[in-house]
A and B are shown apart, each in its own frame.
Chain A
Amino acid sequence: MVMPLITLRGMYKRFPGVLANDNIDLDIYPGEIHALLGENGSGKSTLMCLLSGLYTADGGTIRVDGEEKRFRSPRDAIACGIGMVHQHFKLVEPFTVAENIAMSGRDESFVLSTERMTADIAALGDKYGLEIKPVARVWQLSVGEKQRVEIVRMLYHGSRVLILDEPTAVLTPQEAAELFKTLRWMAADGCAVVFITHKLNEVYELADRVTVLRGGKVTGTLVRGQLDTKKLVWMMVGRDVVSKYERDAVPEGRPVLAVDKAVAFNDMGMYGLKDLSLTVREGEIVGIAGVAGNGQRELAEAVTGLRRVADGTICLYGEDVTNFRPAEMIARGVSYVPEDRLGVGLVPGLTVLENLLLKSYQQPEFAGRWLLDGKAIRARAEKLVREFKIKVSSLDQPVRMLSGGHLQRLLLAREIAEKPRLMVVVYPARGLDVGATEAVHRLLLDLKADKTAILLISEDLDEIMKLADRVGVLYGGRLVGEFPVEEADIERLGLLMAGSGGEGGNADAVQV
């Protein structure tokens, strides 16, 4: 058997409050395309950042060609032939392509020879079919071109192991196809390619071998011949049984939220939502499954007034609220638990008390025209902390010191205290342990029992199956399937999420 190019043993990395990598072993062979598959937060990117020298491991060994290495910075990793293309490109926009590539360069001489560099870069591009213009300025390039620059940069520095973090997330299908061609070429040339993904179809299309991660641990490695969708989905998504919570059958109420043919753009100006229609009723939990980046954020933000809807309408209890300001949506009883708990939902530097006040500082119970009523605010904060069992050492403690589970409780406590009519929750249990997850789920079910309409956006199929009354799958900004939870099973959802779903693949949303 060929010797592995890279051997990782017992990789261990802890972030405050999260165990990102727990004793991970991984071998990477020359000439292979190796997929790292897993949900968000499963530790794929962390592992690769350890390998590329961006993070320092808390434990474990990295061997390159059998020789143990210690990477203090990406420069050390690059010197060993390991290069990583990050999801967010690390390019200097005003510089030319050639200047970007030469940066942190192998050229030790003080004076850079622009012509030689340009020629070298062009030659490299030709070799791997990567079309790039060395004299162009980076800000002029499209996303796909920028990615090519990153790849050529790694090749220019002599990378034998190329790591790509979700390389297709920002590409059009055509660009992705081009990229795959290049990657195969490089593997054939003896490089090792590692790509991080959570899309099954990419694994099928490209990978020679796939390692699946879940919760910071490896759940298995399969080679090409053994690929089996059901197995992969299970390895990725997890737990054995979909145990259901006991739920009161809530009689179907009036429609609360009605989204009709909504179109919205994402931050890059591309379509985030395409003609998406959706209804959520009183006391109903509608679970939206899907791989991140398929319009989840855009959907949540459009419904809460944080993102402009370019076309279509959004109605609350029959009132057209399309493109109302966030404050107006809040006033109409829309609560929102965003994906970004710390930074959007909560302000890390402010105290527990101040964070609990975020949505109610204008309400007459807590403030007059000008001044805040400190006593009432503190009394309510104490009550919420007690009721929701949020573990804090003091109300005046900055929230960034809380653990993930308690942060989420704090956020939910505040949003639930608003007595919402519509609650939008995004990835509510991401990064939480089993106990905290269950606590969060209970809170949502209690809210449902109070006849609140809940739009639950999640990647965790288990979670959706447990909580939702109806399930929809978001893919490419559309709902590619929508059915009662009884008719949903993980495999079917997984397929739809991967964009290879039976009847839903290109058909438009099945409307209820």
Chain B
Amino acid sequence: MPFRFEKRLAPTPFMTVAVPVASVALALLFCAVFLALTGRHPLELYMAMAEGALGSAYGLTETTVKAIPLMLCGLGIALAFRMQLWNIGAEGQLYLGALAATWLPLTFPGLPAIVMLPAMVVLGMAAGALWALGPAYLRVKWRVNEIITTLMLNYVGILLVNYFVYGPWRDPKGFNFPLTAQFPPAALLPTFGDTRIHAGLVLALALVALFLVIFRNSRWGYEIKVIGASERAARYAGMDIKRNMFLVMALSGAICGLAGMAEVSGIAGRLQPGLSPGYGYTAIIVAWLARLNPVAIVLVAGLFGVLQVGGYIVQTHGVPASVAAMIQGAILFFVIGGEMFTGYRLVFTGRKGAAATDE
């Protein structure tokens, strides 16, 4: 049947919610077909993933632990994306945050927690911000595409951490493993009870609240919104676009840096290579799926935590953990495809319709 897409004047609220949900469902269905073709029972597998990630205290903890860096990076990314600044560098900013935060306990192990932790937070955020400011400067000065620069700095950031861990910061008592020394207890983020869930969650949720206020009813949030929607209109309204680019990129990077600090201080207790399994990249999907909405980021980060933990669980069923990555990819694919339906309306034009346009 012949059909065409007609632009919607405004996406309806129903569609903005229904389309992503349907997209996730379709992605799971799509992956189910693939899993079935490889001889597995998809429903059983999905159930096992959900059970593993949500069905026990241990699963829930692990899911939350995975969701924390996704939330933080997702928030940082969402801030930049709101202004149409495509910060793809969350991963690098996370590593830099981890690196800078690690410096303090390694250099001054005797500091009390009350000084140590806030200083680590500041260091991590500053390093992440710096890592994002380079691309911001190039963008403002010479209009260098920030997608490329932030992306490339990811590799630099990861390798920089490797350099320190394999080189100057390697623990002399560590049997030659590429790890720094264990942090003193004062440099570890407090955890909830004896779970691995650390105070990073509190920071993330506080940021969610802060972002809600910024986006909903702050002057700055309004500026970001206008600049993101139309740079020319923002200039016309007298907004300082360059200053906002620096500010937004710096804060975006700082929050990703905080995620790195939280990982070393809350989870590992030391700096190590491969400290993030690609949180900074997955967080791009999280932010996008959440339509840059802070509350939705929490939910989507939770979903992706489930996928990640579920992915480890199903290894015991003889399925590779990369099934989780496959599902993530499929979700993104379907959500982006689904965008079409929020922005456009599908109109079927039978023979009759074609004749009608001829009148």
Contact = CB atoms under 8 A, between A and B. Distances in A.
B222 interface: yes
A327 B240 contact: yes
B236 interface: yes
B10 A370 contact: no
Interface string B194-232: 000000000000000000010001111011011001101
Interface size band for B: 20 to 34
Interface string B45-70: 00000000000000000000000000
A371 interface: yes
Contact of B219 (A338, A354, A370): A370
A371 B236 contact: no
5 contacts: A328-B238, A344-B232, A344-B233, A357-B222, A371-B219
B218 A354 contact: no
A344 B358 CA distance: 36
A329 B240 CA distance: 14
Contacts of B10: 397-398, 400-401
Interface centre among A327, A358, A367, A401, by most B CB within 10 Å? A358
Contact of B9 (A338, A345, A361, A400): A400
Contacts of A400: 9-10
Given A306-B236, A344-B236, A345-B236, A350 B218 contact: no
Interface string A34-73: 0000000000000000000000001100000000000000
Counting chain B CB atoms within 10 Å of each CB, the highest count among A59, A347, A348, A397 belongs to A347
Contacts of B237: 326, 330, 358-359
A222 to B, nearest CB: 32
Nearest to B213: A371
Interface in B67-86: none
B345 interface: no
A502 interface: no
Interface residues of A, number: 38
Contacts of B213: 371
Contact of B230 (A343, A374, A397): A343
A58 B357 contact: yes
Contact of B238 (A59, A325, A357, A367): A325
B233 A343 contact: yes
Contacts of A329: 238
A354 B217 contact: no
A195 interface: no
Contacts of B235: 306, 326
A475 interface: no
Contact of A354 (B222, B232, B239, B358): B222
Given A59-B358, A349-B229, A362-B219, A336 B9 contact: no
A327 B238 contact: yes
B238 A345 contact: no
Contacts of B44: none
A273 B54 CA distance: 68
Contacts of A210: none
Contact of A358 (B218, B226, B357): B226
Interface string A301-327: 000101000000000000000000111
A167 to B, nearest CB: 27
Given A338-B236, A358-B237, A350 B229 contact: yes
Going nearest first, the 7 A-B pairs with the smallest beta carbon separation are A327-B238, A326-B238, A347-B229, A358-B237, A347-B230, A347-B233, A401-B9
A367 B219 contact: yes
Nearest to A401: B9
A163 interface: no
B293 to A, nearest CB: 16
Given A347-B226, A370-B220, A358 B9 contact: no
A397 B11 CA distance: 11
B238 A330 contact: yes
Given A372-B217, A398-B9, A326 B225 contact: no
Most central of A328, A331, A338, A344 by chain B CB within 10 Å: A344
Interface string A248-259: 000000000000
A350 B225 contact: yes
A350 B238 contact: no
Contacts of B230: 343-344, 347-349
A58 B240 CA distance: 43
Given A327-B240, A397-B10, 8 more contacts: A328-B238, A330-B238, A346-B233, A350-B225, A357-B222, A371-B218, A371-B219, A401-B9
A421 to B, nearest CB: 16
Nearest to B221: A372
**Which of A304, A329, A370, A397 lies at the interface centre, i.e. has the most chain B CB atoms within 10 A of its CB?**
A370
Interface centre among B9, B218, B237, by most A CB within 10 Å? Answer: B237
A371 B230 CA distance: 22
A373 to B, nearest CB: 8
A344 B231 CA distance: 8
Interface string B137-169: 000000000000000000000000000000000
A331 B213 CA distance: 27
A336 B233 CA distance: 12
B236 A354 contact: no
Interface string A364-380: 00010011101000000
A345 B233 contact: yes
Nearest to A340: B232
B153 to A, nearest CB: 26
From B10, B213, B219, B232, residue with most partner A Cβ within 10 Å: B219
Contacts of A345: 233, 236
A361 B234 CA distance: 12
Nearest to A367: B219
A20 to B, nearest CB: 16
A362 B222 CA distance: 10
Contact of B359 (A59, A326, A397): A59
Contacts of B358: 59
Nearest to A70: B358
B354 to A, nearest CB: 11
A400 B7 CA distance: 12
Nearest to A360: B237
Nearest to B10: A398
A372 B222 CA distance: 9
A371 B218 CA distance: 4
Nearest to B240: A327
Contacts of B225: 350, 354
A340 B223 CA distance: 20
Contacts of A326: 235-238
Interface in A214-233: none
A386 to B, nearest CB: 23
B238 A371 contact: no
A13 to B, nearest CB: 11
Nearest to B230: A347
Contacts of B9: 16, 398, 400-401
A340 B232 CA distance: 10
Most chain B beta carbons < 10 A, residue from A330, A331, A350, A400:
A350
Interface string A391-409: 0000001101100000000
A367 B219 CA distance: 7
Nearest to A357: B222
Interface string A166-182: 00000000000000000
Interface string B104-129: 00000000000000000000000000
A343 B231 CA distance: 9
A370 B229 contact: no
Contacts of A374: 217
Contacts of A361: 219, 222-223
A59 B357 CA distance: 7
Contacts of A58: 357
Nearest to B357: A58
Contacts of A401: 9-10
